[in-house]
Amino acid sequence: GAGVSQTPSNKVTEKGKYVELRCDPISGHTALYWYRQSLGQGPEFLIYFQGTGAADDSGLPNDRFFAVRPEGSVSTLKIQRTERGDSAVYLCASSGRAGEKLFFGSGTQLSVL
Amino acid sequence: GNSVTQMEGPVTLSEEAFLTINCTYTATGYPSLFWYVQYPGEGLQLLLKATKADDKGSNKGFEATYRKETTSFHLEKGSVQVSDSAVYFCALSDMASGYSTLTFGKGTMLLVSP
């Protein structure tokens, strides 16, 4: 596609439920990043993929968070046993190669009730 | 660790006023510096960047100069327009790892009235 696509744009769930957030990067981009933006804060790094592998997952807050990119294109961020503190906008970005300009999606607004 | 501090908003200006949004940083290495903009309902967009000391990034009338001695990267525009209303994020990237994970400030909302 023309840009980074994230679905859904909004997700409302209940505490304790499992959610999946999807990111479709720009075609051909090998580097993919997930960020989380809490209300009133700047985006915070979660995880970086180069191709299919997670090259840096140091930003994942705990083991309830997991992300995959099985074919080196689409990525899914998975959150188990959601908590109210997980409510935030989850942003995905991609770049042609590591270190090149990042293109951001519009994000998924996750609300945990 | 790395951190970015930028002035709190909202910044409220009239059209054609001069804009400054302050940004200072702390970094362990020699980072690249960025300004991103987020228009209502849209994703983050790179506005400008600078990769070394004394570099000036510029785009759409906005400018920022990489000041290593003061660890600053202040955003300026001589004459703002209503269409500049958005949230502006200062960010740094330490490329020591070979890839760019950005560290962002909290963002500054700019509201420009006609």
Q: Is A67 exposed, middle or buried (0-12, 13-18, 19+ CB in 10 A)?
A: buried
Each residue's pLDDT expressed in tens, for chain A with a length of 113 residues: 579 999 999 999 999 999 999 999 999 999 999 999 999 899 999 999 999 999 899 999 999 999 999 999 999 999 999 999 999 999 999 998 777 788 999 999 999 99
Contacts of B88 in chain A (CB under 8 A): none
The answer to whether the CB atoms of B104 and A56 lie below 8 A apart is no
* DSSP-based three-state secondary structure for B83: helix
Contacts of A55 in chain B (CB under 8 A): 99
**How close is the nearest chain A Cα to the Cα of B97, in Å?**
9
Structure tokens at B47: 């506005």
Confidence of residue B33 (pLDDT cuts 50, 70, 90): very high
**What pLDDT is recorded for position B96?**
67
pLDDT, one tens digit per residue, over B83-106 is 999 999 999 997 766 677 899 999
Q: Measuring CA to CA, which residue among B98, B108, B94 is closest to residue B2?
A: B94
Cα distances from B89 to residues A3, A57, B43, B75, in angstroms, run 20, 23, 12, 10
Question: Whole-angstrom Cα distance, residue A74 to residue A97?
Answer: 16
Cα distances from B2 to residues A51, A64, B59, B71, B102, in angstroms, run 26, 25, 25, 12, 10
Residue A108 and residue A6 in contact, taking contact as beta carbons nearer than 8 Å = yes
Cα distances from B31 to residues A11, A34, A45, A64, B63, in angstroms, run 35, 20, 16, 31, 18
How many CB pairs below 8 A link A and B? 56
Percent of chain B with pLDDT over 90: 81
Residue A34 and residue A27 in contact, taking contact as beta carbons nearer than 8 Å = no
